[in-house]
Structure 1
Amino acid sequence: MSRRLAQGLDDEAPRAARPAVPAVVALGANLGDRAETIAAALDDLARLPLTSVTAAAAPIESIALTPSGPDAAAPGYLNTVALLSTRLAPSVLLAYLHAVEERHGRPRRTADQPRWQDRTLDLDLIAYGEVRSDDPALTLPHPRAAERDFVLRPWASLDPDAELPGRGRVADLLRALDEEDAS
């Protein structure tokens, strides 16, 4: 069995034959009508083929992150998390997420654009079942999810027993962040 197939990344298996997998998608926006954009993006996710949105958390406000840390002077983000059930392969789901971002005015990043910039919509594939991948094109689970309150808090509100593969319970990760902030 190939390494890619063992990781659940084989895109050649027929999509209809693939069992449904739970996936976690983080949504964020800090430009334009953020609430409208988030609502429209959730509608877009619900219309993806072989995919359903099983839950979405109430959006929360967060401070913009930059390479040098939080920036209270930058436009604030509205963030939420959606839980999906999908039969799409993770790479196919990620391609759809990128298409939704582009439809909402977010161009794909190029070498001459800063990595962390204001955006109309940001969709991150946080987790796809228990799949772990260190492929630069698709890193799973999301490498910084365990450090992001604006991902963990909405996720924990939807599923208090959720686990971030390889990192532990979401509630425990969130508690550790809260304790770190308090010290």
Structure 2
Amino acid sequence: MRPPVVAFVGLGANLGDAAAALQAALAALGQLPGTRLRRASRIYRSAPVDAGGPDFLNAVAEVETSLAAPDLLAALQGIESAAGRERPYRNAPRTLDLDLLLYGDGSIESPVLTVPHPRMRERAFVLLPLAELAPARVAARDLQAVAGQRIEPLPPTSLPR
């Protein structure tokens, strides 16, 4: 078994009961083989970016995993499928979206996976919750660049902290 790595996963949903979808996804993350959910950010409400539909609920989870990055990605896609995720077109509204944002300090460039996530620095709905968990991983200039995007933290919930 490989040594554990700390990874950060972005969670989002804007169809159905989005809050319940995020809760279920966090529980599912903690059930993945060789994976432990360490903590999660608050939930944020954000306007869709390059997407349609209602506002999104977003969060970021910190996990410790012995899964290789491609295996973690496949597991995340399995959780999305179980939540009814469909991909009728790029950036369609979704019941659940899970993105592998960071995998340790590594950099991955493959046809199926790019880490760090290639668009995370353009999205307040990723950077604000990530900064809650790992402030050193988010540059102040990146936060400034997304300051005009509509996003608000929701009151605390029962998400693991």
Considering the TM-score relative to the shorter chain, is it more than 0.5? yes
Q: Which runs of 5+ in 2 are unaligned?
A: 150-161
Q: Which has the larger radius of gyration?
A: 1
Bigger RCO of structures 1 and 2 (CA < 8 A, at least 6 apart): 2
How far did 1:57 drift? Answer: 0.5
Alignment partner, residue 110 of structure 2: 135
1:57 is matched by which residue type in structure 2?
S
- Structure 1: where are the runs of 5+ without partners? 1-15, 164-168
2:43–2:57 contact (8 Å) kept in structure 1: yes
Q: Distance in 1 between matches of 2:28 and 2:89?
A: 27
1:123 to 74, 94, 98: 98
Cα distance in 2 for partners of 1:122, 1:170 equals 24
Q: 1:82 aligns with which of 49, 54, 61?
A: 61
Aligned with residue 145 of structure 2, among 176, 179, 182: 176
User: C-alpha deviations, 1:47-76, integer Å up to 9, x for none?
Assistant: 111011111011100111236xxx5xx211
1:104 alignment partner in structure 2: 83
| 1:66–1:172 distance in 2 versus 1, CA, 3 Å | closer
Alpha-carbon displacement from aligned partner over 1:88-109 (angstroms, at most 9, x marks no partner): 00000000000000000013x4
CA RMSD of aligned residues (A): 1.6
Distance in 2 between the 1:99 and 1:138 partners?
15
Q: Which residue of 2 aligns with 1:60?
A: 44
Tell me the secondary structure at the aligned position of residue 58 of structure 2: strand
TM-score (norm 2): 0.87
Given the two structures, how large is their TM-score scaled by the length of structure 1? 0.77
The alignment of Structure 1 onto Structure 2 pairs a total of residues equal to: 149
Q: Are the equivalent residues in 1 in contact too, given 2:42–2:129 (CA < 8 A)?
A: yes
Please give the alpha-carbon distance, in whole angstroms, between the structure 2 residues aligned to 1:175 and 1:150.
13
